[in-house]
């Protein structure tokens, strides 16, 4: 099935305790598309870049089956740029620079073929832009997922709640789930958020994994314990890309298959953090991915003997 | 198989955002023994109390098969007392009072029958006292587990490392694992700690669950997501009690059975936090416990389709 991804395509400069990477490829849509491309080659990307963005990187995405008709390239414009520095524990980071550049005028126009995508992943953007994408869809979608962050809850909560009311799956972190719902317990937060609209809620907890809620069902996917987390940038988007790519491949949104999709996302995220930028995500093979899925099974399964 | 538990039997005064419980029953050994008693009725308890500790509570433990020959009751003495207040997030707490009382002179004497216990759980105490218990054992043990905390790492690291070198399973939290090993990554911390002696390492992460390490094998048990965590006091000890009680019942320390034991501990801990003190732990039934074990399976299992 087809997957539409909307979000940023950008440059990042990243400092971690292990080193610095300057002006490397980043952006939610980039991570989502690369990650999903291991599961499906029917992807529409909708984003905006300046003419400073390397053709080579766009071609690599095309080569993986990503349709770029929805990518606007602004002549003379500069691509979105983010710079950040991670603390020693890798769980916290400081944003050093956010240059919106061409993103300031992003008004996504969906190509005709993208409007009927069965699966849609809206990366973190202003709620107004996310709403504009929803308005262009033809209504035939099977599952629409949306990622957002506390920043929009602080400055545009009403608009954000309006778009959340129109989607099927919301991905946010634990503190954001508490802020959005006003509930401290994640179980109670999930109840409140389900009532806002989304049938599925994924609460991301970084190194502590992710929780999937669907009415009274809960599923817990741990993060794979790794000897070294090199750079967490893009891990959440890579997770979402794996999840949505797996759903687009299998076209099954039962709770049992959602569990597998969450694990697929977790496995992809575990690769993402092992190197800067897309370095690891761009060189994976299916046997490597399958081996990691097996590791999740070993990490989580037990035979219940009562 | 027989289980020896050594640790505090105490009074607690606890404040949480949900209320206050004054001079209620607490202590590591109490939680461990109650929790284990749902899996085995062959338990030796070794501890110390003053004559202020209610006979009724001691009788309830005896009624569950806990042998109290190793409990010293000091005439005219006062039992160990701890008071603490939890913050709103329930993950942090302030200690308000620590009155050692009779615990200051605790010199555990193992009854003859306890010296050959196949399973041993050493609750958090000074490393010197833990060492004295190890010295009294007859050497026939199948698995010796030890709990400790950062306080002893700060003031008695060498002595602590000596006892850690003599045990099979260590339970500590994530920050303590980092402090003990000098490694930030828990995977690397586990390697260093295995080299210190323990074949098994359990890293407790509170609301984020627990990790079991055994050489290159890792197992992740989440904490059961609950609508309300009422009082976390004793959750770690209840976890250890369920784990060790399950091992004493099944007498199997293969990795597969250790996984089940960790889940048994997690299930017991999920009950513990639902009420103050031992209130919930003292009224459980096996069908309730089994129902919760089933919930863990639902929370963690997925069918891998490659």
Chain A neighbors of B89, CB-CB under 8 A:
184
Q: How confident is the model at residue B88 (pLDDT cuts 50, 70, 90)?
A: confident
- Give how many domains chain B has, as a whole number: 1
- At B174, is the secondary structure helix, strand, or coil? helix
Structural domain includes residue B291 = yes
Helix B127-136 to helix B157-164 angle, to the nearest 10 degrees?
A: 30
Mutate to test the interface with A, among B194, B212, B220 (most CBs of A within 10 A): B220
CA A164 remoteness from chain centre: 16
Question: What pLDDT is recorded for position A92?
Answer: 83
Q: Which of A88, A227, A300 sits opposite B188 (nearest CB)?
A: A227
Question: What pLDDT is recorded for position B269?
Answer: 98
Cβ-defined contact of B208 to A205 (cutoff 8 Å): yes
Mutate to test the interface with B, among A90, A220, A287 (most CBs of B within 10 A): A220
Q: How confident is the model at residue A242 (pLDDT cuts 50, 70, 90)?
A: very high
For residue B89, pLDDT over 80 is answered with no
Q: Does B222 touch chain A if contact means CB atoms closer than 8 Å?
A: yes
Q: What is the mean pLDDT of residues A211-239?
A: 95
Structural domain includes residue A113 = yes
Chain A neighbors of B222, CB-CB under 8 A:
209, 220, 222
Helices (H), chain B: 28-36, 55-63, 127-136, 150-155, 157-164, 174-181, 186-196, 235-250, 255-272, 286-300
CA closest to A184 among chain B residues: B89
Cβ-defined contact of B227 to A88 (cutoff 8 Å): no
C-alpha distance from A74 to closest chain B C-alpha (Å): 41
Question: What pLDDT is recorded for position B304?
Answer: 85
For residue A91, pLDDT over 80 is answered with no
Cβ-defined contact of B226 to A185 (cutoff 8 Å): yes
Question: What pLDDT is recorded for position A305?
Answer: 80
Structural domain includes residue B145 = yes
Q: What percent of chain B is predicted at pLDDT more than 90?
A: 94
Chain B neighbors of A263, CB-CB under 8 A:
302, 304
Of A7-11, A46-50, A226-230, minimum mean pLDDT range: A226-230
What rounded mean pLDDT belongs to chain B?
A: 96
Question: What pLDDT is recorded for position B167?
Answer: 98
Question: What pLDDT is recorded for position B165?
Answer: 98
Q: What is the mean pLDDT of residues A90-116?
A: 94
CATH number, domain of B215, equals 3.40.1190.20
Q: State the count of interchain CB pairs (< 8 A) between A and B.
A: 102
Q: How confident is the model at residue A18 (pLDDT cuts 50, 70, 90)?
A: confident
Chain B neighbors of A205, CB-CB under 8 A:
208
Structural domain includes residue A38 = yes
> Strands of B93-99's sheet, edge to edge?
B19-26, B10-16, B80-86, B93-99
Question: What pLDDT is recorded for position A304?
Answer: 85
Q: What is the pLDDT of residues B198-245, one digit of tens each?
A: 999 999 999 999 999 999 999 999 999 999 899 999 999 999 999 999
Q: Does A209 touch chain B if contact means CB atoms closer than 8 Å?
A: yes
Structural domain includes residue B305 = no
**Rounded to an integer, what distance in angstroms lies between the CA atom of residue A30 and that of residue A123?**
10
Q: What is the pLDDT of residues B262-306, one digit of tens each?
A: 999 999 999 999 999 999 999 999 999 999 999 999 999 999 887
Chain A neighbors of B227, CB-CB under 8 A:
185, 187-188
Q: Which of A209, A260, A296 sits opposite B303 (nearest CB)?
A: A260
Q: Which of B222, B227, B303 sits opposite A187 (nearest CB)?
A: B227
Question: What pLDDT is recorded for position B75?
Answer: 97
For residue A182, pLDDT over 90 is answered with yes
For residue A306, pLDDT over 80 is answered with no
Calculate Rg over the CA atoms of chain B.
18
Question: What pLDDT is recorded for position B92?
Answer: 83
Structural domain includes residue B306 = no
Non-local CB neighbours of A100 within 8 Å, separated by 6+ positions: A80
Question: What pLDDT is recorded for position A289?
Answer: 98
Cβ under 8 Å to B: A residues 127-186: 184-186
Question: What pLDDT is recorded for position B194?
Answer: 98
Cβ under 8 Å to B: A residues 68-97: 88-89
Q: What is the pLDDT of residues B257-267, one digit of tens each?
A: 999 999 999 99
Chain A neighbors of B188, CB-CB under 8 A:
227-228
Cβ under 8 Å to A: B residues 266-305: 290, 293-294, 296-305
**Which contiguous run of DSSP H or E holds residue B212?**
strand B210-214
> Between these two residues, A91 and B69, which has the higher pLDDT value?
B69
Structural domain includes residue A306 = no
Q: How confident is the model at residue A276 (pLDDT cuts 50, 70, 90)?
A: very high
For residue A58, pLDDT over 90 is answered with yes
Q: What is the pLDDT of residues A283-295, one digit of tens each?
A: 999 999 999 999 9
Domain that holds residue B247: 3-300
Cβ-defined contact of A304 to B294 (cutoff 8 Å): yes
Non-local CB neighbours of A184 within 8 Å, separated by 6+ positions: A178, B88, B89
**Rounded to an integer, what distance in angstroms lies between the CA atom of residue B265 and that of residue A158?**
43
ipTM of the complex: 0.92
Structural domain includes residue A259 = yes
Q: What is the mean pLDDT of residues A238-250?
A: 98
**Rounded to an integer, what distance in angstroms lies between the CA atom of residue A208 and that of residue B171?**
18
Q: What is the mean pLDDT of residues A153-179?
A: 97
Cβ-defined contact of A293 to B306 (cutoff 8 Å): yes
């Amino acid at each position: 099935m087809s997957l539409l991804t909307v979000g940023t395509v950008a440059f990042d400069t990243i400092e971690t305790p292990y080193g610095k990477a300057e002006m490397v490829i980043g952006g939610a849509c980039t991570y989502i598309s690369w990650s999903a491309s291991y599961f499906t080659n029917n992807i529409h990307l909708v984003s905006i870049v300046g003419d400073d963005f390397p053709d080579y990187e766009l071609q690599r995405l095309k080569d993986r089956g990503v349709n770029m008709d929805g990518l606007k390239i602004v002549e003379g414009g500069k691509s979105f740029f983010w710079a950040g520095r991670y603390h020693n524990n890798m769980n916290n980071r400081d944003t050093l620079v956010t240059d919106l550049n061409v993103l300031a005028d992003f008004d996504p126009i969906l190509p005709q073929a993208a409007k009927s995508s069965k699966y849609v992943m809206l990366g973190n953007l202003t709620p107004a832009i996310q709403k504009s994408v929803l308005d262009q869809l033809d209504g035939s979608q099977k599952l629409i997922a949306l990622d957002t962050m506390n920043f929009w809850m602080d400055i545009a909560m009403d608009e954000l709640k309006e778009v959340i009311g129109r989607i099927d799956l919301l991905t946010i972190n634990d503190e954001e789930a508490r802020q959005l719902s006003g509930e401290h317990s994640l179980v109670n937060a999930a109840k409140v958020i389900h009532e806002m609209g989304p049938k599925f809620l994924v609460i991301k907890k970084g190194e502590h994994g992710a929780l999937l809620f669907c009415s009274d069902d809960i599923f817990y996917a741990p993060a794979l314990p790794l000897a070294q987390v090199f750079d967490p940038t893009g891990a959440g988007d890579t997770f979402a890309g794996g999840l949505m790519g797996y759903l687009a491949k299998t076209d099954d949104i039962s709770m049992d298959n959602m569990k597998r999709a969450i694990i697929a996302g977790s496995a992809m995220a575990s690769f993402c953090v092992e190197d800067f930028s897309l370095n690891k995500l761009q060189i994976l093979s299916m046997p490597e991915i399958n081996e990691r899925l097996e590791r999740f099974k070993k990490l989580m399964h037990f035979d219940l003997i009562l």
